[in-house]
Amino acid sequence: MDKMDNGQIIYLSNMHYLNPSSVDMPKRYIDGKIHKDDDGEQYVMIDRLYGGLYESSTRLIQVDGSTYKGHIKRFKINSRRYSATEDGRWFNETGMPVNCPEGYEHKVSEVKSEINKIQDDKKYQELKNKVLGKKG
């Protein structure tokens, strides 16, 4: 971690140095605010996905240094692993942002459906505990 001039905490791995051999990086990052490091090299800040073996341990550190609060779902597409957020951002298996794999735009609706199911299940459990007099 490091701090920017405004005191905001940034993660060094959220710095993406501009070069033509980059992964299929979404345009919103490449066209983002350009910064210079101590050596004068140019970089942009990117959202970066971090995690462990389980989806529950996955977290998304956003450009501004905040942690994404929405739902993230993993997919296996053509033997490659991707993660998608409910707001439509895609990441490859290394946690780098990528464009949505062609023909898989509909997968974002699966993420939204899954979060709705999780929320409904939570409401059901709360109601069940209330009716049965359990503390949850």
What are the domain boundaries of the chain?
2-132
Q: Return the higher-pLDDT residue of 111 and 27.
A: 27
Average pLDDT, the chain: 80
Q: Return the higher-pLDDT residue of 112 and 71.
A: 71
Whole-structure pTM value: 0.70
Alpha-carbon distance of 98 to 47, in angstroms, equals: 10
Q: Which helix (H) or strand (E) holds 80?
A: strand 80-85
Residue 86 pLDDT: 87
In sequence order, the 6+-apart residues with CB closer than 8 A to the CB of 63 are 14, 29, 32, 45, 46, 47
Q: What is the pLDDT of residues 50-90, one digit of tens each?
A: 986 666 678 999 988 889 998 888 888 889 999 999 888 99
Return the structure tokens found at 57.
């341990």
Alpha-carbon distance of 36 to 33, in angstroms, equals: 10
Residue 12 pLDDT: 66
Return the structure tokens found at 112.
């939204």
